């Protein structure tokens, strides 16, 4: 029995250490995360959710991450045979992490996405990566800003400013849309800093499963009292979109962690640039009325360049990249 298990591990390890497969898996994860933007925008329409119906939007987010948490718990118990139990002293930190990374982040994310385009949301979502770099400078002695990071931040934030400049470079920004997306990124950055500390004591899969479960239950509890009858119409297509959105979060995280286990974090993280790129392109392809413009191409290029520059380091602690945004 042990020999069979070893063979399976060896076979899987071959894919996770082969540089070509590693690139393919990393890009696949980034594209999965990027696909969340058009999937959620189309879900709103299919479910008949109004952009201003915050209760329905919050409940939808809660259901999605509740399902994602169940998938990861199943993977823990059945797949990798890891106990899902946590010490009582860790529970307050897990609840705080769930509040930040799931409840607050996706309150802003889902409501912001309802009031802006999928393409802009995909680009603005990268702000969280840049906020982490800035916050880390003030929190960690060994993670100060240097010229490389500053150049990356300038490129990234220039792209974010450009995407809000409009086609004719007139300021095109609303707090309910673009503002909420930026707030989502900032809350995500705070959560990432907290997750980095907790991940030293808790297995990343356990950490993610619990924060998704606790955060999703809070979203559902807050949204349900204000939910109107027939606020969400679950057609077959809507159900498939919901299941896919839950699947993509659980799958992308699991695969991302698997390749991080066998490879250098700094070399893997650079492929995160494909999340805003794929998110913008897929939004243009699948969301009616959305199309890429010249300033969006430029903004996308600047943000992608910024993500690559700030992330590329050959020696980084892997826990820093285990839970950065879970679209």
32-36, 194-198, 261-265: the lowest-pLDDT one: 261-265
pLDDT at 5 over 50: no
Radius of gyration of the chain (CA): 19
pTM for this prediction: 0.88
Q: Are 279 and 122 in contact (CB under 8 A)?
A: yes
Contacts of 210 (CB under 8 A, 6+ apart): 69, 84, 86, 94, 98, 202
Helix (H) or strand (E) holding 162: helix 147-163
What pLDDT shows up at residue 247?
A: 95
DSSP 205-264: HHHHHHHHHHHHHHHHHHHGGGPPTTSS---HHHHHHHHHHHHHHHHHHHHHHHHHHHS-
Q: Model confidence over 20-37: pLDDT tens digits?
A: 888 899 999 999 999 999
Residue 315 DSSP class: S
Domain spans in the chain, listed from the N-terminal domain onward: 13-321
pLDDT in tens, 71-122: 999 999 888 788 888 888 888 999 999 999 999 999 999 999 999 999 999 9
Helix (H, G, I), strand (E, B) or coil at 33: helix
**Cα-Cα end-to-end distance for the chain:** 38
Position 41 confidence tier, pLDDT thresholds 50, 70, 90? very high
For residue 317, pLDDT beyond 70: no
Segment 213-227, tens digit of pLDDT: 999 999 999 999 999
| Contacts with 146 (C-beta within 8 Å, 6 or more apart), sequence order | none
């Amino acid at each position: 029995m042990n020999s069979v298990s070893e063979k399976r591990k060896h076979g899987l390890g071959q894919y996770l250490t082969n540089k070509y497969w590693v690139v393919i898996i990393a890009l696949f994860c980034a594209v999965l995360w990027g696909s969340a933007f058009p999937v959620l925008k189309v879900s709103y329409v299919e479910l008949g959710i109004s952009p201003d119906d915050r209760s329905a939007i919050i409940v939808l987010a809660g259901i999605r991450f509740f399902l994602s948490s169940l998938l990861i718990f199943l993977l823990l118990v059945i797949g990798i045979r890891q106990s899902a139990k946590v010490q009582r002293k860790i529970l307050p930190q897990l609840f705080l992490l769930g509040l930040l990374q799931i409840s607050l982040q996706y309150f802003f994310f889902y409501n912001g996405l309802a009031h802006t385009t999928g393409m802009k949301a995909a680009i603005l979502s990268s702000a969280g990566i840049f906020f982490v770099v800035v916050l880390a400078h003030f929190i960690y002695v060994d993670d100060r800003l240097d010229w490389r990071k500053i150049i990356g931040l300038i490129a990234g934030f220039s792209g974010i400013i450009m995407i809000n400049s409009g086609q004719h470079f007139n300021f095109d920004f609303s707090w309910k849309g673009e503002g909420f997306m930026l707030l989502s990124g900032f809350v995500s950055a705070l959560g990432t800093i907290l997750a980095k500390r907790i991940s030293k004591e808790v297995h990343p899969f356990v950490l993610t499963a619990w924060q998704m479960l606790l955060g999703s239950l809070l979203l559902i509890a807050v949204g349900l009292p204000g939910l109107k009858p027939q606020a969400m119409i679950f057609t077959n297509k809507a159900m498939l979109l919901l299941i896919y959105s839950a699947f993509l979060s659980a799958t992308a995280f699991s695969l991302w962690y698997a390749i991080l286990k066998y490879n250098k974090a700094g070399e893997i993280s650079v492929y995160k640039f494909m999340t805003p790129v794929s998110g913008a392109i897929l939004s243009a392809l699948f969301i009616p009325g959305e199309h890429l413009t010249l300033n969006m191409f430029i903004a996308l290029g600047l943000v992608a360049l910024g993500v690559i520059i700030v992330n590329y380091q050959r020696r980084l602690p892997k826990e820093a990249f285990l839970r950065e945004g879970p679209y």
